[in-house]
């Protein structure tokens, strides 16, 4: 059970907080029914994601054994059998999809698309340059759409744009970290890395980070935003967004912590604290 839980990667579940922005920005955060519904959806998404993580570890077991960190994973290290892992992966996906049908039909369609997309990514798309990062980014978009469906609101164009740009930024940052960590043997554990270079990834990161900050800045002052919330004060949350991007760039370039955004967020106190302050400022401005 210990190795099964480790393979489920519970630390990665923090990515599923992307289900909650729709609830926050739709003025429904304190609606108990909707909050409970989105929270249940968060749990189901965690199970679906864990199912994919285990499936990915099964497919990449030989390549993971050549990686300095991934070789410690239960499957790569031999502590967990593939047959057991397959069974757990299927069970988790079944529970997630069955629960989604009961919870909300649109949510079921979205989480099904997420599972199918990730299976395609694991089996083929992860080997296609640039498209691999776009596929990673689509996973965050699916999370946001899942949140809007459960919150009963239409997805904002700005919310989708900001999600796409920041997830692409994180995706290219992840590839850069993998390329540096793996060195000359990086393509042995991830084939697509042979098509990337540090210079190319730095350009992509620069473009996507600029797009992220600009799209968020434009969102805070857009007429639609001001009309919906009755205030222009969201612009004052922009410095926290800028600091968050810059801090993550620092961690990626100077500390080699960009390979796993979740770990970086949990381990780096300034980044974590900045995220909490940003969230608190957003809630304060929108609700009070």
pLDDT tens per residue, range 172-193: 998 998 888 777 666 666 788 8
Residue 259's pLDDT is 67
Is the confidence at residue 210, as pLDDT, over 90? yes
CA 11 to chain centre: 12
pLDDT digits (tens, 9 = 90+) for 87-117: 999 999 999 999 999 999 999 999 999 999 9
30's tokens:
């304190």
Residue 188's pLDDT is 66
Kindly report the length of the chain: 288
Q: Give the lowest-confidence range in 13-27, 109-123, 179-193, 241-255.
A: 179-193
DSSP for 5-71 reads HHHT-GGGGGGGGGGSHHHHHTT-TT-HHHHHHHHHHHHHHHHHHHHHHHHHHHHTHHHHTTSTTGG
128's tokens:
């296609």
Q: Give the lowest-confidence range in 116-125, 193-202, 253-262.
A: 253-262
Selection from 33-37, 78-82, 227-231 with the highest mean pLDDT:
33-37
Q: CB-based contacts of 201: which residues, under 8 Å, 6+ apart?
A: 172, 175, 176, 179
């Amino acid at each position: 059970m210990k190795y099964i839980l480790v393979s489920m990667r519970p630390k990665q579940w923090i990515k599923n907080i992307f289900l909650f922005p729709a609830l926050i920005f739709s003025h429904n955060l304190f609606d108990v029914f909707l909050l409970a519904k989105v929270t249940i959806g968060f749990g189901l998404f965690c199970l679906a994601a864990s199912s994919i993580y285990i499936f990915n570890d099964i497919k990449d077991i030989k390549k993971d054994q050549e990686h300095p960190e991934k070789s410690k994973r239960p499957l790569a290290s031999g502590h967990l059998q593939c047959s057991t892992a397959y069974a757990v992966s299927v069970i988790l996906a079944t529970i997630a999809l069955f629960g989604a049908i009961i919870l909300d039909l649109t949510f079921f369609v979205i989480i099904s698309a997420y599972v199918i997309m990730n299976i395609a990514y694991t089996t083929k798309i992860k080997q296609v340059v640039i498209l691999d990062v776009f596929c990673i980014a689509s996973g965050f978009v699916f999370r946001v759409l899942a949140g809007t469906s459960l919150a009963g609101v239409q997805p904002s164009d700005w919310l989708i744009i900001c999600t796409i740009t920041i997830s692409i930024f994180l995706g290219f940052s992840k590839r850069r970290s993998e390329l540096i960590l793996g060195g000359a043997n990086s393509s042995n554990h991830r084939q697509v890395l042979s098509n990337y270079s540090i210079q190319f990834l730095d350009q992509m990161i620069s473009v996507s980070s600029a797009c992220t900050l600009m799209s968020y800045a434009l969102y805070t002052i857009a007429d639609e935003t001001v009309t919906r919330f009755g205030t222009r004060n969201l612009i004052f949350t922009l410095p926290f967004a800028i600091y968050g991007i810059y801090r993550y760039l620092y961690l990626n370039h100077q500390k080699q912590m960009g390979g796993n955004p979740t770990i970086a967020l949990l381990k780096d106190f300034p980044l974590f604290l900045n995220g909490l302050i940003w969230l608190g400022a957003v809630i304060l401005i929108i609700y009070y």
